[in-house]
């Protein structure tokens, strides 16, 4: 009977495969060896390993929000918060990794750049899957025709189909929207003893009627039109005077936006602390992706100037367009527009305070 072989570091990590996965084109017979191509390959392989981990974390996060019932005080949501924060830390690391790539000079890159054509980072299937899983929709992508290419510089048929299939599935953004819409804290029974500060506005819950009055009264003369954005974003009450840059193509429903704003306003209550941190982590995920894109633009500007990308994109121009367009959770970040000072927050009824405080 064969004895079980003791676990060995090299075998556990399969280092024979990992460390034999670097084969620079410039090292092949007939080419002049470019020293920095090894660095280029290892950095991008490291990116792909971290992308794999991000997708692994997103699998768990989405499995929680796919449940029919979510307990906001459950271990599941605590793990979601923890793993979203891990995603944020990974994205921070990816941005820092660009600085290592920048130890390669433009002349160093030119030694092997033409050997890469038409391959490029644009063809990273895992990064496209991360964007799609988070909720970046095709219609919101900069120069979306780039993403449907199967010619040189685009995707092969297998990867193209994988990306299309993922884009057709429910996204984290959609799941978060449904989770927010289910927030139960505006049930009539909890607001029976609420004392309105202002005359009630038609068709508005007493809390939101008061909040709208307070928000409007706090706007200065130059900000007066923000009340139209408030009405459109939170109540789908459209106005010709609304700021189209702020409210263009909202991705979250008005009900979800009201729930998210309420969580942000009263985040100090125990029941909202985890939920608020999840929303904040989603906003920070967008922020870190933008940081990574911005750092990438600076690096590309330094390396190739105004030249085309190796994958036949416009290079820096494409990256700048993506930076400005590819915000996924911008609606949540935009809620900062509608905050009021803590001292002016409407006082919640005692029945609701007990529920928010886990009190009996």
pLDDT at 115 over 50: yes
Q: Do 292 and 98 form a contact (C-beta atoms < 8 A)? A: yes
Cβ count near 268 (within 10 Å): 10
327 or 322, greater pLDDT: 327
142 or 235, greater pLDDT: 235
In the chain, alpha helices (H):
9-12, 15-18, 37-65, 75-101, 106-110, 125-134, 157-167, 172-181, 206-217, 226-235, 244-247, 254-265, 270-304, 316-325, 330-334, 350-356
41-72 pLDDT tens trace: 999 999 999 999 999 999 999 999 999 888 77
Domains along the chain with CATH numbers: 33-356 (1.20.58.480)
Q: What pLDDT score was predicted for residue 29?
A: 96
pLDDT at 320 over 90: no
Please compute the mean of the pLDDT values over residues 258-287 and round it to a whole number: 96
Q: What pLDDT score was predicted for residue 360?
A: 47
DSSP readout, 129-191?
A: HHHHHHT--GGGSTTGGGGG--STTS--HHHHHHHHHHHTSPPHHHHHHHHHHT--TT-GGGG
How far, in whole angstroms, is CA 154 from its chain's centroid?
24
First-last CA distance in the chain: 63
- The closest of 232, 234, 235 to 243, measured between CA atoms, is 232
pLDDT at 157 over 60: yes
Residues written for the chain: 360
pLDDT at 344 over 90: yes
19-34 pLDDT tens trace: 999 999 999 999 999 9
pLDDT above 70 coverage of the chain, percent: 85
260 or 1, greater pLDDT: 260
Q: What pLDDT score was predicted for residue 140?
A: 65
Q: What pLDDT score was predicted for residue 295?
A: 85
Burial class (CB in 10 A: 0-12, 13-18, 19+), 31: middle
């Amino acid at each position: 009977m064969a004895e079980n072989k003791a676990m060995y570091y090299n075998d556990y990590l399969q280092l024979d495969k990992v460390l034999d996965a670097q084969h620079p084109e410039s090292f092949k017979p007939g080419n002049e060896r470019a020293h920095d191509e090894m660095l280029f390959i290892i950095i991008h392989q490291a990116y792909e390993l971290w992308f794999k981990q991000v997708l692994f974390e997103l699998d768990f996060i989405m499995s929680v929000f796919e449940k029919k019932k979510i307990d906001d005080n459950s271990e599941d949501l605590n793990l979601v918060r923890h793993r979203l924060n891990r995603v944020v830390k990974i994205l921070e690391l990816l941005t820092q990794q660009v600085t290592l790539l920048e130890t390669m000079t433009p002349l160093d890159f030119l030694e092997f750049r033409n050997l890469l054509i038409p391959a490029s980072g644009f063809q990273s299937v895992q990064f496209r899957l991360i964007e799609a899983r988070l909720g970046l929709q095709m219609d919101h992508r900069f120069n979306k025709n780039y993403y449907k290419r199967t010619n040189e510089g685009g995707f092969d048929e297998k990867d193209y189909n994988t990306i299309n299939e993922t884009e057709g599935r429910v996204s984290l953004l959609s799941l978060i929207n449904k989770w927010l819409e289910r927030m139960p804290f505006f049930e009539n029974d909890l607001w029976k003893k609420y004392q309105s500060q202002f005359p009630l506005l038609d068709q508005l819950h007493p809390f939101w009627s008061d909040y709208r009055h307070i928000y409007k009264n706090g706007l200065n003369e130059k900000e007066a039109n923000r009340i139209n954005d408030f009405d459109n974003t939170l109540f789908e009450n459209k106005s010709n005077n609304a700021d189209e840059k702020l409210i263009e193509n909202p991705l979250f429903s008005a009900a979800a936006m009201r729930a998210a704003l309420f969580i942000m306003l009263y985040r100090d209550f125990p029941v909202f602390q985890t939920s608020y941190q999840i929303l904040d982590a989603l906003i920070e995920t967008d922020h870190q992706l933008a940081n990574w894109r911005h750092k990438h633009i600076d690096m590309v500007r330094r390396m190739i100037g105004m030249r085309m990308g190796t994958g036949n994109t416009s290079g820096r121009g494409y990256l700048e367009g993506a930076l400005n367009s590819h915000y996924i959770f911008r609606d949540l970040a935009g809620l900062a527009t509608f905050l009021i000072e803590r001292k002016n927050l409407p006082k919640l009824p005692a029945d609701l305070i007990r529920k928010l405080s886990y009190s009996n």
